[in-house]
Amino acid sequence: MLTPRRAAPLLLAGVAVALAASTPAAADPAPATPSPGAATVTKAGTSFLTATGVAAGQPVRVAASTGEYLYWSFVASAGETNQVAVTVTLPERHAPATWTVDVFDGLRRRQACTAGAQSPAVGTGDATVTLGCTLRQVRSWAEPWSGDPLPGTYYVRLAVVDLPEQDLGLPVQVDMLISATSDGDGGPEAGTLETPLVPPVRAGAVLTAQSADAAATADTDGTWLPDFSARWIWTTAGGVLAAVAGVVGFGLTRRPRRRP
Amino acid sequence: MIIRRPSAVLLGLAVALFPLGVAPVAADETAPTEPPKVELVLDVSGSMRAADIEGRTRISVAQQAFNDVVDALPAETQLGIRVLGATYPGDDKAVGCKDTQQIVPVGPVDKEQAKGAIATLRPTGFTPVGLALRAAAADLGTGRTTRRIVLITDGEDTCAPPDPCEVARELAAQGTHLVVDTLGLTRDEKVRRQLLCISAATGGTYTAAQSAAELSGRLRQLVDRAKDTYAQTPALVTGSDQCAKAPLLSPGVYTDRERFSEHRWYRVPVGAGRELRASVSIALDRPVNRDYGVLLRATAADGRELVRGTDAGSGRTDVLSTGLRWSPPSEPDPSPSDTAATVGDTAVCLVVSNSFSARAGAAQSPGLPVELTIDVVAASPAPDGPGLGRGWLLLTVLTVAGLITGVLAGWLTRWWVATWRTN
């Protein structure tokens, strides 16, 4: 029965399935390692406006004081899942403390961590404390009313939130690394955010009269095609499989040819 | 061949579509017109004679740190140095508490001259911290950019009033964008409290320096920060107590002050096809009770709530922030109140409220510092529907659909052929 003519579509289907299976599987969060050749950042900002920009994979090493609020910002694009890993080397102290790492989006909205030790308590004997936060996957579009993570700037704030006053001001060393894994999948809607959530940093101006803001209507210059992602492969493979199945189904209805 | 072709198509698609990522943060800042300004304020009171930092006197450690800072000073940074308690050795408090001088004026630094002035300092008198802070603020002048004061002291203010913490709060409230970072050379409890209060009131930091290397490194870091951050100064605005009279804001960053439980209103014009983005941060510059919250609401002119952003927290923090997005509906709202105003020039009202409560003894006024960020960008319309799919279920459904179609097509063909033959 399995003549070469019949085998070809089956082979094709097998390959398509293999293709589909191999690519879209989201990689497990690999242990964060700095990108080779990335320059170490030795600064941290002290507020949202002065946050120090950091790229994913770029190591950060900063000397700071206990009680300081340290801010960094990074840029995330649709489909990315970002992880923040922080290690704080602590001095000798009097009492237990709690450290916390908070992540905010470009609108300064608090972002949930899906995994990681976001605010660990540290005893007096510990020399270091390790913090981590895995963010939700960044979507390509969301309703204005939702709090879903969108492409744009993200802020990381590291602080000690609970400690006795006498331990404030002591020197600490902070190591931080932001890593990003991406499968390019920006969510099922396939919409796009016209402008990423990058907040303005310039001083504003109070308007005197109601002058309508530049009423440029959003002409969608973007393409209607979604960005390349695993969804393209899945859908294409599905089409191929459907076609093959159609041919097979058609073949099944034919009567076995009578031998002459 | 059949297999290779779809993969080539996919590759082509990948090449064509991959670069359409997020554009990096646009650095469209114009060059600031003012150089960064920072003043170091050093306590040279009698207690600086104590030799308790790695066997060296506090003043010698501070002098060495200052020399390091002067050597490593970025070219564009303007540095001034002010001392307190440096000249009057007597016991008359009235005179000793006026003892503060600027030994290096704020400006481009002559390194040799600055080092010479630092070398002559001898621990002498009282500790008029409050007065020195006021004078330092005057030295730095007023301008649109942030100025930094770095206060290095080993002792509590011995001259209150004015209480240094009150002075710091007063300077912060003047809206001159002053940040005071403090460095304590002892771990005395009263000193720490006072320095923490000063730094918290102005959004600065407190460090307890315990070695020469620490002091030197920290001082350099703080002076460097002046260079990095001085240009980021928001515009001052005063919110109104009702929407109709609220100031109309264009995109940018603003600061304001809001008292406990106060509501502050602002308005932003949002045209059709545009999206409003607003975020607010309220800074905790004084002790507040443990639990707190911030609420930012966008309302239409008639008071209807459009969207809200909220955050709450408890414990120690510097700012509490929240934000919101809103875009006008693409078709005119059918509600009767909107018939008069066209959607094209809707002014959205924003109201900032807080649920902080002052701890006993904390000042009620001036209000807490509020930072407001407004942006109006092109709206992102809702996509028509799901585009591409993924997952094994999708493959199964497509395959089964293909199979059923094939079988139906086969049967139809057979039926048609049979009918054709019989005729």
In CATH, the number for domain B37-229 is 3.40.50.410
Domain ranges of chain B: 37-229, 235-378
Q: Which numeric CATH code is attached to B235-378?
A: 2.60.120.380
Res B11 pLDDT > 90: no
At residue A184, does pLDDT exceed 80? no
pLDDT at B337 over 50: no
Q: Which of B381 and B305 is assigned the larger pLDDT?
A: B305
Nearest to B253 among A151, A198, A204 (CB): A204
The nearest CA of chain A is from the CA of B357 a distance in Å of: 19
**pLDDT given at position A151:** 93
Query: Which residue of chain B is at minimal alpha-carbon distance from A50?
Result: B229
* C-beta separation of A101 from A84 below 8 A: yes
The answer to whether B29 and B138 have CB atoms below 8 angstroms apart is no
Q: What's the pLDDT band for B32 if we cut at 50, 70, 90?
A: low
Q: Which residues, at least 6 apart from B286, have a Cβ–Cβ distance to it below 8 Å?
A: B169, B200, B201, B358, B359, B362, B363, B368
Are A251 and B410 an interchain contact pair (Cβ–Cβ within 8 Å)?
yes
Asked if ipTM goes beyond 0.85, one says no
Give A85's strand partners.
A132, A177
Round to whole Å and give the CA distance between B310 and B294.
Answer: 6
Judging by beta carbons within 10 Å of its beta carbon (0-12, 13-18, 19+), is residue A200 exposed, middle or buried? middle
| B283, β-bridge pairs | B319
- Chain B nearest CA to A204, separation (Å): 4
pLDDT band at B231 (very low <50, low <70, confident <90, very high): low
pLDDT at B15: 38
Residues 131-170, chain B, touching A (beta carbon < 8 A): 144
User: Is B290 an interface residue toward A (CB < 8 Å)?
Assistant: no
| Phi (first) and psi of residue A238, to 5 degrees | -60, -40
List of chain A residues whose C-beta atoms are within 8 Å of the C-beta of residue B386: 188-190
Q: What does residue B105 show for φ and ψ, rounded to 5 degrees? A: -70, 150
- Interface contact flag, B250 A228, Cβ < 8 Å: no
Query: pLDDT (tens digit, 9 = 90+) per residue, A89-145?
Result: 998 888 899 999 999 999 999 999 999 999 999 988 889 999 999 999 998 888 888
User: Nearest C-alpha of chain B: how many angstroms from A33?
Assistant: 22
The reply to whether B240 touches chain A by the CB within 8 Å rule is no
Query: Closest Cα of chain B to A74: distance in Å?
Result: 9
Give B217-276 as a DSSP string: HHHHHHHHHHHHHTT--PEE---BSSSTTPPEE-SEEEEEEE-TT-EEEEEEEE-TTEEE
Please report the residues numbered 249 through 268 in chain B whose beta carbons come closer than 8 angstroms to any beta carbon of chain A.
249-254
pTM for the predicted model, two decimal places: 0.81
Q: Is the pLDDT of residue A19 over 50?
A: no
pLDDT at residue B332 is higher than 80? no
Domains B37-229 and B235-378 belong to one CATH topology:
no
Chain A residues inside the 8 Å CB shell of B243: none
Q: Count the Cβ atoms, other than its own, within 10 Å of residue B16.
A: 12
Chain B residue with minimum CA distance to A69: B318
In this predicted structure, the answer to whether residue A256 has a pLDDT above a threshold of 80 is: no
Residue B25 pLDDT greater than 70, yes or no? no
- Preferred mutation among B253, B395, B411 to probe A, highest tally of A CBs within 10 A: B395
Residue A83 has pLDDT above 70, yes or no: yes
User: Nearest CA to A197 among A105, A86, A125?
Assistant: A105
pLDDT of residue A244: 92
- Dump pLDDT digits (tens) for B83-128: 888 787 777 777 778 888 888 888 888 888 888 888 888 888 888 8
Cα gap B185→B192, rounded to integer Å:
10
Name the residue among B24, B232, B251 with its Cβ closest to that of A49.
B232
Handedness of CA B211, B215, B217, B221 (dihedral sign): positive
Tell me if A246 and B277 make a contact (CB, 8 A cut-off): no
At A222, the pLDDT band (50, 70, 90 cuts) reads: low
SS3 A217: coil
pLDDT value at residue A11: 45
Query: How many angstroms separate the CA of residue B95 from the nearest CA in chain A?
Result: 33
CA distance A30 to chain B (A): 23
Mean pLDDT of chain B: 81
Q: What is the pLDDT of residue A71?
A: 94
Percent of chain B with pLDDT over 70: 87
Structure tokens at A69: 């609020």
pLDDT at B374 over 90: yes
pLDDT in the model for residue B178: 85
For tokens 């911290």, the residue is B129
Is B299 a residue whose pLDDT tops 90? yes
With contacts defined as CB-CB under 8 Å, which chain B residues touch A171? 207, 210, 214, 218
- Cα torsion A247, A249, A254, A256: sign: positive
For B122, the token pair is 């001898």
